[in-house]
Chain A
C-alpha cells in the first residue's frame, strides 16, 4: 500500500505538481516551436514520452551498475588493474553527463531506425520529431533527476529502484504532453483572435504559458495533503 502510494505520488508530482514545462522550464523550445497544431503537439508529446522512458531505463542502469561510487561493474573491471580495496571505492560519477548525453543521442538514433523499419505508419506521424528530441532538455533533465535520486540517497534503501525511475519518466513525459496539447488547443483558437502585432507568435505564447503556469501552481501541496489523508 505504502509502495503504491509512493509510486502514485511520484506520478502525480511529475505530471501535474512539478510539471516539467511549467515548473522546471525544461523542454520550452519544442513547447514554443511545435505547439501550433494539435496533431503535431500530440505527436511530439508521444515521441518525448517514448524516448524519455527509454532514456530513463538506460540512465538508471548505467548509473546503478557503472557510474555510482562503488558500482559493481566498474569495481569488477577495476579489480583487474588495482588493489581490491581501491577498486571497491571507484567512483565514475564525474563521467555521468557525457555518459547520459551519449546514451540519449544513441538511443534516439536506434529508436528512429527501429520505428522506421517496423512501424512505418508511426514513423510518418512522429518520425520527424525524433532527431529533435536529442537536444530536448526534458530528457536529460529526467535522467539527471533520476541520477540525483539514486546517488544522493542517504541509505541504500532510499535509492530509487527501476520502478520509480520509469514512473517518473513516463508521467513526466505525460505532463509534457498535457502541457503542449493544452497550449496547441489554445493556439489554434488564437489564430482567430486579434493579437497586437508585437505580441504575435512567441510573445503571446509565453504570456499564455505564464497564465497556465499560474493555474498549475494550484496543484502545489496536493501531494502532501494526499499523503496525510491516505497514510492515516
Chain B
C-alpha cells in the first residue's frame, strides 16, 4: 500500500495544488449559486468548513467500524446531522443570511467535496490528519468562492462586501449577478488557472531537462 500523506501535506495540498473547485471541479453547485456577493460566499465557505471538519473527524474516529458497502450512507447521514446543526445555527443568529442562502445550506449534504474527503482521507487516516485535511480543503474552497464572488460583486454592482468601491458612475453589469454571469466568470477564471498550471508545468519540464 502506498504511503499516506502526512497532516501537513494534506493541509497544504487542499489549499492550492488540489484545490477542490479549480483542480478537482467538485462542489460546483454552491460555487456558482452563492457567489453573487462576498458576504453570502464567505458564509457558505464557513458553513462548509464547519461541516467538513466535524464530518471528517467523526468519520475518522469510526473508520474501523465502517462496512464497505454501507459507507456512503454513513457518510451522508453524518454530514446531514452536522448540516442540520449549521442550518439551525444560521437561522438563529444570521437570519437574513439564512433566508438568502435558502436551499443551498441543506444542499451542503450532497456537496461532493465533503463526501470525497471522507472517502479519500477520513476513512483511512487518523482524526488529526483528517482535521488538517478538512481545514486545508475548506480554505481552498473559501479561496475559490472568494475569487469568484469578488469578480461578480465588483463588476455586477460595483461594491465589495456591500461598500461602494467603483466610482458612482459605474454602470453595474447586471448579467454578472444573474445566473449566466456565474457560469461565465467561473469559466474564465478556470481557464486562467489552467493557463498558470500549464506555464508552471512547462517551466518544471524545462528545468528537468
Contacts and interface: CB of A to CB of B under 8 A. Distances in A.
Interface of A: 22-29, 32-33, 94-95, 97-98, 101-102, 105-106, 134-137, 139-141, 144-145, 148, 196-200, 202-207, 209-211, 213-214, 217
B186 interface: yes
A25 B191 contact: no
B179 interface: yes
Contact of B184 (A24, A95, A210): A210
Contacts of B84: 94-95, 97-98
**From B29, B88, B112, B181, residue with most partner A Cβ within 10 Å:** B29
**From B73, B180, B198, residue with most partner A Cβ within 10 Å:** B180
A215 to B, nearest CB: 9
Contact of B190 (A23, A202, A214, A217): A202
A53 B96 CA distance: 32
The 7 closest A-B pairs by CB, nearest first: A210-B183, A206-B187, A210-B184, A207-B187, A198-B195, A203-B191, A213-B180
B80 interface: yes
A211 B184 CA distance: 8
A202 B175 CA distance: 21
* Chain B contact surface mostly: helix
Contact of B186 (A101, A136, A206): A206
Contact of B110 (A32, A136, A207): A136
Contact of B179 (A27, A29, A137, A213): A213
Contacts of B66: none
A137 to B, nearest CB: 5
A27 B115 CA distance: 16
B26 A25 contact: no
Contacts of B111: 137
Interface of B: 25-26, 28-29, 32-33, 72-73, 76-77, 80-81, 83-84, 87-88, 103, 106-107, 109-112, 115, 175, 178-184, 186-188, 190-192, 194-195, 198
16 contacts: A25-B28, A33-B25, A95-B84, A97-B84, A97-B106, A101-B80, A101-B109, A101-B110, A102-B73, A135-B115, A196-B191, A198-B198, A207-B187, A210-B180, A210-B184, A217-B178
Nearest to B115: A135
**From A97, A102, A197, A207, residue with most partner B Cβ within 10 Å:** A97
**From B106, B111, B115, residue with most partner A Cβ within 10 Å:** B106
* Chain A contact surface mostly: helix
B110 A202 contact: no
Nearest to A213: B180
Nearest to B30: A25
Contacts of B73: 102, 105-106
Contacts of A25: 28-29, 32-33, 179, 182
A94 B33 contact: no
A24 B33 contact: yes
Contacts of B190: 202-203, 206
Given A98-B81, A134-B72, A213-B179, A203 B194 contact: yes
A217 B175 CA distance: 11
B112 A26 contact: no
Given A98-B84, A199-B191, 18 more contacts: A28-B29, A29-B25, A29-B29, A29-B112, A102-B77, A137-B110, A144-B103, A196-B191, A198-B191, A199-B194, A202-B25, A202-B190, A206-B187, A207-B183, A209-B183, A210-B182, A213-B183, A214-B175
B187 A210 contact: yes
A217 B109 CA distance: 28
Contacts of A33: 25
A31 to B, nearest CB: 9
B198 A98 contact: no
A187 to B, nearest CB: 14
